[in-house]
Chains A and B, each alone.
Chain A
């Protein structure tokens, strides 16, 4: 069984991002970039399935700038067998990425695609779902446990009020939640070996995909500053303030 794992290069989760002065987006010049943490969980899950003998090959895919090659190398250092870079300078929105991944799936014919549930830069939480729809495959999102047997994936997902277990027929798309696993540290020798693993570069045009944005970003702004709290004398005053000043009850 072949597993495809899409990985996105995003601003590192430790970086405090700043909004550009003109409000056109977030300033990522000279900012540390890393693999999206949810995608890292996806890579880990795929590699574990391979180590358990369930999967035979793990292919990492990244769409974006040439620098995303480093993210693919990081995935290969963790244990992915090879990488595919869909290289473009264009702004990529979830639908475009889903179409690119669909085209890669047509070519690679994986039995399972493990996406991060969302990327920590735009928090869209759409790509996995869109890919499933485009491919006509079942989807199981926000997975906290995945097991594969008899051509089906059994996926546990945490929902309001408990845990739901889905059984989906392969090929399928699974998206990862935080609690699915704890990604390993790539060992330093494996990082060196990743350099020698195959990495293929294709362009969106090669895949016949139009990646033109469908959405326009009007403005990006900082969240409003939180105002200082106010001490109240007693419960009566609290209720009064909530009712008449904050107007929340």
Chain B
């Protein structure tokens, strides 16, 4: 749903220009130093990128899903690590509070997430529970006005930078599945909360993940999201539906960037006396990429519009996430191929994207988990 086309055009133009003028030139330095320079982080905050999808009443922009994916397409035209820094506030790190938080939780935390004063992080995955998230083992035991958390969370994006963590923990040990899980807001610095060393990753330099460890970590009961036990897993799944569409959108954006780079290279690089873009085998790679990219873009927009209409998009979000992230992987592979030997050199940047986008097929549910979700929903609908 687009609320006002004119305003949206200016918004997208501004983001596109910021990406082109400020973020693209910083890609190499971020990759080399594994760090986004402070002045760029400050500019990202100033621009308002941390509050894109947080409601206007809390100071954000309250973008609809369709508006947000259009913005994400633009943001995708550079290293995805930039997006990762503010994506958790707009997505998995902030949406739990937006969707199910109490009025007090919203009023306290959302304005700080909007400005980027707080970085939000989402802690669901554990060493022994990834795809099978409902089997998580972190426990939260009520003790007076507090819950005492124990357990370890793994691969937590933005954990080294985070001010608050949305943590899924089991409050009812008798219930082994989803029903025993609750969601908590845990502030950095809470005694008993500690962080592991940053993970060494294949790509996404500049964006950081690490373990988050809870050892008798006492969290005020007021920080139980929604004020009720047992709804945490549902909160997490609602957050992930939105997150999957967002990952599909960033996959489209980065694929657009890689295809633009590959097209430019193919038009400039000469072999056998003419630009390689004039050779049909190169053209086939360009055309296949363009068609798949267009299909993914349409899927993402459709899923986003359906979510804006209030429809259940569990299946569509998974379809879009699976197709767009796999498409992005194929486009990355073809882009490297079109660059030839240069594609293997870091100075051309395309190999960096190739490594970066490999993550899209893994996080927010692997391709295989999306397949299970899609097929299960189909079978459930058939059986009634």
A195 B51 Cβ-Cβ under 8 A: no
Task: Kindly specify which of B2-10, B296-304, B375-383 makes contact with the partner chain.
Answer: B2-10
Q: A195, B47: Cβ atoms under 8 Å?
A: no
Q: Contacting B47 at CB < 8 Å: which of A73, A74, A187, A194?
A: A187
The answer to whether B48 and A189 have CB atoms under 8 Å apart is: yes
How far apart sit A74 and B48, CA to CA, in the bound complex (Å)?
16
Within 8 A of A (CB), among B61-87: 61
Q: State the CA gap A186–B61 with chains docked (Å).
A: 14
| Residue ID in chain B nearest A76 by CB atoms | B10
With beta carbons under 8 angstroms apart, the residue of B9, B13, B15, B61 that contacts A189 is: B61
| Those of A144-189 within 8 Å (CB) of chain B | 185-189
B6 and A73 within 8 A (CB): yes
For window 1-51 of chain B, which residues contact chain A by CB distance below 8 Å? 4, 6-7, 9-11, 13-15, 17-18, 43, 46-49, 51
Interface pair B10/A191, CB less than 8 Å apart: yes
Which residues of chain A come closer than 8 Å to B4, judged between CB atoms? 195
A194 partner residues in chain B, CB cutoff 8 A: 7, 10
Q: Smallest distance from the beta carbon of A42 to chain B beta carbons, Å?
A: 18
Interface residues of B in 114-134 (CB under 8 A from A): none
Interface size for A (C-beta < 8 A) is 15
**Contact for A191 among B14, B51, B59, CB less than 8 A:** B14
State whether A191 touches B46 (Cβ < 8 A). no
CA distance A194 to B59 in the complex (A): 15
Interface: A139 (CB within 8 A)? no
Contact A70 B9 (CB under 8 A): yes
Known: A185-B17, A188-B52, A189-B61. A77 touches B10 (CB 8 A): yes
Q: Is the CB of B13 within 8 A of A187?
A: no
Which residues of A (49-75) have their CB < 8 Å from a CB of B? 69-70, 73-74
8 Å CB contact of A195 from B7, B18, B46 = B7
A34 proximal to B (CB < 8 A): yes
User: Are A186 and B10 within 8 A (Cβ)?
Assistant: yes
For B61, give its contact among A73, A77, A188 (CB under 8 Å).
A188
Does A192 have its Cβ within 8 Å of any Cβ on chain B?
yes
Annotate A191-234 by CB proximity to B: 1 below 8 A, 0 otherwise. 11011000000000000000000000000000000000000000
Q: Is B215 an interface residue (CB 8 A)?
A: no
Q: Least Cβ distance of B66 to chain A in Å?
A: 16
- Best-buried of A34, A70, A77, A189 by chain B (most CB within 10 Å): A189
Does B56 sit within 8 A of A, measured CB to CB? yes
How many Å lie between the Cα of A94 and that of B49 in the bound state?
Answer: 39
Bound-state Cα–Cα, A185 to B59, Å: 19
How far is B315's CA from A104's CA once the two chains are assembled, in angstroms?
A: 56
- Chain A residues with Cβ below 8 Å from B51 are 188-189
Contact A185 B11 (CB under 8 A): no
Closest partner residue, chain B, to A74 (CB atom)? B10
In the complex, residue of chain A having the shortest beta-carbon distance to the beta carbon of B46: A187
Q: Which residues of B contact A191 (CB under 8 A)?
A: 7, 10-11, 14
Contact of B56 among A74, A186, A187, A192 (CB under 8 A): A192
> CB-CB < 8 A to A185: which residues of B?
14, 17-18, 43, 47
Structural contact, B48 and A187, CB atoms closer than 8 A = yes
Q: In the assembled complex, how far is the CB of residue B78 from the closest CB belonging to chain A, in whole angstroms? A: 15
Which residues of A are found within 8 Å of B10, using beta-carbon distances?
A: 70, 73-74, 77, 186, 191, 194
Which of A34, A70, A188, A189 touches B6 (beta carbons < 8 Å)?
Answer: A70
Q: In the complex the two chains form, what is the Cα distance from A210 to B46 in whole Å? A: 44
Neighbouring A residues of B15 by C-beta, 8 Å? 188
Q: Nearest chain A CB to B108's CB is how many angstroms away?
A: 20
Are A192 and B9 closer than 8 Å at their CB atoms? no
Residue of B nearest to A192 (CB): B61
Closest A residue, CB atoms, query B49: A188
Contact indicator A188/B14 (Cβ below 8 Å): yes
**Complex Cα gap A169–B26 (Å):** 45
CB distance from B73 to the nearest CB of A (A): 15
Binary interface encoding of chain A residues 230-247 relative to chain B, with 1 for a CB under 8 A from any of its CBs, else 0: 000000000000000000
Q: Which residues of A contact B17 (CB under 8 A)?
A: 185
Query: How near does chain B come to A89, taking the closest CB pair, in angstroms?
Result: 19
Cβ–Cβ contact B13 & A188, under 8 A = no
| Nearest CB on A from B313, distance (A) | 25
Instruction: Give Cα distance in the complex from A184 to B6, angstroms.
Output: 20
Residues of A within 8 A of B (CB): 34, 69-70, 73-74, 77, 185-189, 191-192, 194-195
Question: Which residues of B are in contact with A by a Cβ distance under 8 Å?
Answer: 4, 6-7, 9-11, 13-15, 17-18, 43, 46-49, 51-52, 56, 59, 61
> Would you mind naming 5 contact pairs between A and B with Cβ atoms under 8 Å apart?
A34-B13, A185-B18, A188-B15, A192-B56, A192-B61
